[in-house]
Structure 1
Amino acid sequence: MTNQKRTRVCSNPNTKRNISELPDELVLKILSFLSTKHAVATSLLSKRWKSVWTMVPRLKYEVKGNSYRSERFLDESLFAHQSHFLESISLTIDAYKDIGPWIRTALHHHHCHLREIKIDANYIARTKLPPEMFTCKTLVVLKLKGIVMDVVEPLTTVCLPSLETLHVVSSSRLFDSGSLRMLLSSCNVLTDLIIISKSTFYDDDVFDVSWCKTLVSLKLEGFKDVIMSRSNRISSPEAPTPSSLPFLKTLHASRMVNSKKDSFRRLLSNCPLLSDLALEEKTSRVLLNSDIAMPCLQRLSIITKVKDSTHLCKLLNSYISKLATIAPSFKYFDIHELLFDTRTCFCARVRLTRDPSTLEDARIFLRIVHLEMCIRSERSGKMLVHLLQCFINLKVLKLIKHVYEQGFLYVWEPPRSVPECLLSSLEVLEWRGYTGVYGDRELVSYLLNHALCLKTAKISSEPYVVGNKQQTLKDLAAMSRGSKPCELVLN
């Protein structure tokens, strides 16, 4: 039955005519979103489509296991592709592969136009990277992800004059300190750098941010420390220190096993455009103990363990109070907690108002108008109650339930008195991942019933969590609302 339906669709003359009448530019753009396997399959549609796929600018391959068939398809399609069109190649593999021949084919066959290489190898794949990958003069984006990655030969020559984006996520020590310095020092237009080590291979190394002064975004994980070389030291100790990272706007550093406050203090003092900063609490304390001028900082994220709601409020008060003086543009503060040792679970995010009339108020919590928070246990439910009582001017409340989280809010206890923000200021309520069971139902019912100024309530449930989604939506629609004009959006 399926084959017959497919035949009828393909044999429809109107369908053929409409597809054939599309301009080549649009057809190639559509095919670029498909895997190469599906793009090649379009060659069976008609004679007109037989070679269209060979002009697709992006090739995407998935090599599963040791399949001779998939490897042969990769070999043949790479050679058949028109050399003057390929701009990007992406390889996803799940077994040991020497990908060198494929990368060399792409580099040699399309050396004038290849701008992007992406390699994603899962936990059972051991990947060998050819040295030619690091001498491609047209390469703009290079993204490498895998548990075990090695360079076939030690890097002795690096030539990546066009590279703007470099992402390396691996548990193996892909580059030693010398090779990494040589690599980064040769990339004169590099703006986006991510190096994440999932093991301890970089524990003995420090990362010198002075290796690449053109960076706009930098994310590091698993190094010993982040430092700045003193090669730019000027003769007069009284003279101001020149900015070593004059373009850096985003800096995320975590799992620094032996970080020192002085190194981070010096680093942060030399990033005049820094607007997004993420650090572990032990590292971020340098902000509390220093008067570092950070004129452009808008967001601070810290990774820490939150004991209870009192501890959470103390963290909020300490950081916001300090940043209110050293970072005049400061707006957002995020707190993350570790989940399963390696991933971070979003815990809480607040946004401060920029209303000039409130900037002089010493009570920091009066300035918080936006709260996002994960709801996944009784502990988080108690934290929410405490925060609602503190943030008396709260206007937006977003509650989030991530797909991979298994916790439930089994019981939710309402506060003894209704928080003032519900009575006088809360206008927007959003809940993503609503389960419709246990404390979730009790909490959303309480919020809808007591939020007297609410204008919009948007609640989305997950079908794989909620047994009967239609019934859950009916229950939500039937709940009483304290604000009659409130628009309830359910999906």
Structure 2
Amino acid sequence: MEDYNSIKSYPNKQMEQNESTDRISSLHDELLGRILSFMPTKYAVATSILSPRWKNVYKLISTLDFDDSLITSNAPQHHDHFKRFVNGILQQCKKTYIDKFKLNCENDNYENSEIGIWVRAAVMLKVSKFEVTIQKDVHCMLPLPKWFTQHLVVLKLDCSFKVRVPKFVKFPNLKVLHLKEVTIEENGTNGLNMVLLGCTSLEELVIVDTQTQNLPIGLRYEIQFSELMCKNIIVLTLDCSYTLCIPSVVVFPKLKILFLKGITLKSMPRSLVPLVYYRKQVNDYHTLNGILSVSPLLEELVINGCNWGGGNLYLRNPMMEKLTIEDGLDGPIDQFSNCTVLLNLSKLVYFNYHVGLAKQYVIQNLNSVEQAQLEVCFNDLDYDDEQDLCDTMLELIEGIRFCRSLRLSAQCTEALTSGAFELPIFRNLIELNITLGVHVNWKDVVLDFLNCSPCLESLTLVQDGMDTELDGNFLLEAELVDCVYSKLKFINIRNFQGLEGETKMLMYFLKNATNLEEMVIHWKSANKPVVFLNIQQNVLSVPYSFCRSIRKVRT
């Protein structure tokens, strides 16, 4: 029997022969056409120069993908070549069916007529996926003929097109609809709602900055959802100044992602409150609560700058993993005044709460939260006394005591320190970011959080407009904190002023944090560089410092 080495030493003639064979070129034309359809049309056409075998293969592609971002030069002749290329391919296209037409124009050297010719040529085909992104403000009309809408599966428009909607338009196969910066031409047809009414298989709807023509100034467009359209929706994004109307019979059995920005949710009479909603809380019903109550699979919720008329808010979606609630630029800041927020989200991982402080929080389950960001605003007059304000803030903080990363704004620390408080133990907390308000001092909260965070590794302290002297002895006089001695690896100080008390605090961390790897100090640009140099010399003179890196950042 031959040994292994002798077998390897023999040349494998069959293998050499296989390696020299062009196996790709031997594939059937139809298969080669499908392969080329996965790449931009520019590259598909370029394969025609490989050999005579490839000369006409590109004509079998089922995708037309034109992207001027692939142009390597901004020279005018290169863009002229792109225009001729698109015109030539569209003229050569003899197919009656195209799987996808995609046009991406980032350059502004296009005339309205040129874009219009390309789009109308694509509309004449039976297209399954139609995607157009144009950076320039191009005034083109996109018609929606019957032969075009019946075959559409994906329609994505990110451009300033005007869309002319005929009466009784139907999209029987449409699953993805994106409208960004589009103008819907009404013509008495209630165009946008007519489009939505014709979508019976829609799974993903995204509407961003889309306008309706001929709408009176100051009047918000009322967008309406039908029961048939909502039954298959998985992703719903509305980022526009619309009023959303949800009939009582509508449910979202498949909805997983809901993003609402700038939306006004239309209220509903009590007599029309759906039976699926909790009858015991009929007085608390509003459209937002209604949507949440009929979305059992909801995984991600973003409410930004929306107006639902205030009232108690109930969040108890068992599948929700991400939650963001923000006032935004347009949302009323008093919607949470005198209301209760109930949170029972057993799978929630990310929690971003940036709104007015509620009157009361009922937190039944937020035990899975890993990252929490709290930024509240409040009116002292909404609370019985300062202790009541403190207790409300503490309710919210206690609810997220199992998180790994926590960020608190200046208003949070102001509310917390308005009365007597006792923090819970943050057993899982690794990263802490605290901003101190004008009336809050380091010693008011820092030591409490350090003592309650036994696993803390990263600490960020931000001063927000505090110009008073800090008594740095509050740490030196306290007992050594366990997490500082054994866990703390990173310290970030923002808005550092160079005051004596601040320097004492830095010295405390440098002397006692045995695992400290890096300290970053953001000092105010108004301070003279010589001030920081003196502080740096004092810091570096600490004889038992374990810190490996100290960096300054001027702000």
1:54 — aligned with what?
59
1:351-370 maps to which residues of 2 (within 5 A)? 353-354=367-368, 363-370=398-405
Verify the 8 A CA contact 1:223 1:257 in the aligned structure 2: yes
2:348 — aligned with what?
330
Verify the 8 A CA contact 1:92 1:121 in the aligned structure 2: yes
Of residues 387-396 and 294-303 in structure 1, the stretch that sits farther from structure 2 once superposed is: 387-396
Q: 1:297 aligns with which of 320, 330, 344?
A: 320
By how many angstroms is 1:85 displaced?
A: 7.6
Structure 1, residues 105-126: CA drift from partner, whole Å, max 9, x if none? 44545x2xx3211011214322
- Cα distance in 1 between the residues matched to 2:291 and 2:121: 42
* TM-score (norm. length: structure 1): 0.58
2:154 — aligned with what?
141
Q: Secondary structure at the match of 1:245?
A: coil
By how many angstroms is 1:92 displaced?
A: 2.1
By how many angstroms is 1:128 displaced?
A: 1.9
1:218 — aligned with what?
236
Structure 1 residue 205 corresponds to structure 2 residue 216: no
1:120-199 maps to which residues of 2 (within 5 A)? 120-132=133-145, 135-146=148-159, 148-151=160-163, 153-170=164-181, 172-173=183-184, 178-197=190-209
By how many angstroms is 1:207 displaced?
A: 2.1
Verify the 8 A CA contact 2:304 2:328 in the aligned structure 1: no
1:383 — aligned with what?
435
Provide structure 1 residue ranges, at least 5 long, that are not aligned to the other structure. 1-13, 233-242, 307-317, 338-350, 375-379, 400-413, 432-437, 440-444, 458-478, 485-491
By how many angstroms is 1:221 displaced?
A: 1.6
- Cα distance in 2 between the residues matched to 1:257 and 1:54: 49
Verify the 8 A CA contact 1:118 1:144 in the aligned structure 2: yes
By how many angstroms is 1:335 displaced?
A: 5.2
Q: Provide the identity percentage.
A: 23
1:92-491 maps to which residues of 2 (within 5 A)? 92-93=104-105, 94=108, 95-98=110-113, 99=115, 101-109=117-125, 111=126, 114-132=127-145, 135-146=148-159, 148-151=160-163, 153-170=164-181, 172-173=183-184, 178-197=190-209, 204-210=220-226, 212-213=229-230, 214-230=232-248, 232=249, 244-256=251-263, 262-280=286-304, 283=307, 289-291=312-314, 293-304=316-327, 322-324=341-343, 326-334=344-352, 353-354=367-368, 363-370=398-405, 383=435, 390=449, 392=453
Verify the 8 A CA contact 1:425 1:453 in the aligned structure 2: yes
- Cα distance in 1 between the residues matched to 2:123 and 2:353: 43
Of residues 136-145 and 418-427 in structure 1, the stretch that sits farther from structure 2 once superposed is: 418-427
Q: Secondary structure at the match of 1:53?
A: helix
By how many angstroms is 1:252 displaced?
A: 0.8
Verify the 8 A CA contact 1:163 1:190 in the aligned structure 2: yes
Q: Secondary structure at the match of 1:265?
A: helix
Q: Higher Cα Rg: structure 1 or 2?
A: 2
1:40 — aligned with what?
45
By how many angstroms is 1:141 displaced?
A: 0.9
Structure 1, residues 329-370: CA drift from partner, whole Å, max 9, x if none? 333213579xxxxxxxxxxxxx96539xxxx99823421113
By how many angstroms is 1:269 displaced?
A: 2.5
Verify the 8 A CA contact 1:276 1:298 in the aligned structure 2: yes
1:22 — aligned with what?
24
Verify the 8 A CA contact 2:33 2:59 in the aligned structure 1: no
By how many angstroms is 1:251 displaced?
A: 1.1
Aligned partner letter, 1:209: F
2:87 — aligned with what?
75
Q: Secondary structure at the match of 1:143?
A: strand
- Cα distance in 2 between the residues matched to 1:452 and 1:105: 70
Q: Secondary structure at the match of 2:287?
A: helix
- Cα distance in 1 between the residues matched to 2:300 and 2:293: 14
Q: Secondary structure at the match of 1:272?
A: coil
- Cα distance in 2 between the residues matched to 1:104 and 1:422: 67
Verify the 8 A CA contact 2:244 2:264 in the aligned structure 1: no
Distance 1:451 1:36, change over 3 A: farther
Distance 1:305 1:267, change over 3 A: closer
Structure 1, residues 234-293: CA drift from partner, whole Å, max 9, x if none? xxxxxxxxx52222221111112676682323222322222211112664895x823454
Q: Secondary structure at the match of 2:401?
A: helix
- Cα distance in 1 between the residues matched to 2:458 and 2:347: 22
- Cα distance in 2 between the residues matched to 1:304 and 1:367: 25
Structure 1, residues 385-421: CA drift from partner, whole Å, max 9, x if none? 989975826779799xxxxxxxxxxxxxx99669876
By how many angstroms is 1:57 displaced?
A: 3.5
Structure 1, residues 206-256: CA drift from partner, whole Å, max 9, x if none? 2223362221111102233222124x3xxxxxxxxxx52222221111112
Distance 1:365 1:270, change over 3 A: closer
- Cα distance in 1 between the residues matched to 2:192 and 2:297: 25
- Cα distance in 2 between the residues matched to 1:305 and 1:154: 32
Q: Secondary structure at the match of 2:59?
A: helix
Q: Secondary structure at the match of 2:137?
A: coil
Q: Secondary structure at the match of 2:85?
A: helix
Verify the 8 A CA contact 2:169 2:195 in the aligned structure 1: yes
By how many angstroms is 1:50 displaced?
A: 1.4
2:372 — aligned with what?
none
By how many angstroms is 1:182 displaced?
A: 1.9
By how many angstroms is 1:63 displaced?
A: 6.1
Distance 1:353 1:108, change over 3 A: same
Structure 1, residues 430-454: CA drift from partner, whole Å, max 9, x if none? x9xxxxxx99xxxxx99x9888789
By how many angstroms is 1:192 displaced?
A: 0.3
Verify the 8 A CA contact 2:266 2:308 in the aligned structure 1: no
- Cα distance in 2 between the residues matched to 1:278 and 1:335: 10
- Cα distance in 2 between the residues matched to 1:283 and 1:388: 39
* TM-score (norm. length: structure 2): 0.53
- Cα distance in 2 between the residues matched to 1:387 and 1:82: 72
Provide structure 2 residue ranges, at least 5 long, that are not aligned to the other structure. 1-15, 70-75, 268-284, 330-337, 356-364, 370-394, 410-431, 437-441, 461-469, 497-505, 519-539, 549-555
- Cα distance in 1 between the residues matched to 2:35 and 2:45: 13
- Cα distance in 2 between the residues matched to 1:51 and 1:373: 63
Verify the 8 A CA contact 1:332 1:352 in the aligned structure 2: no
Structure 1, residues 116-139: CA drift from partner, whole Å, max 9, x if none? 110112143223212238843232
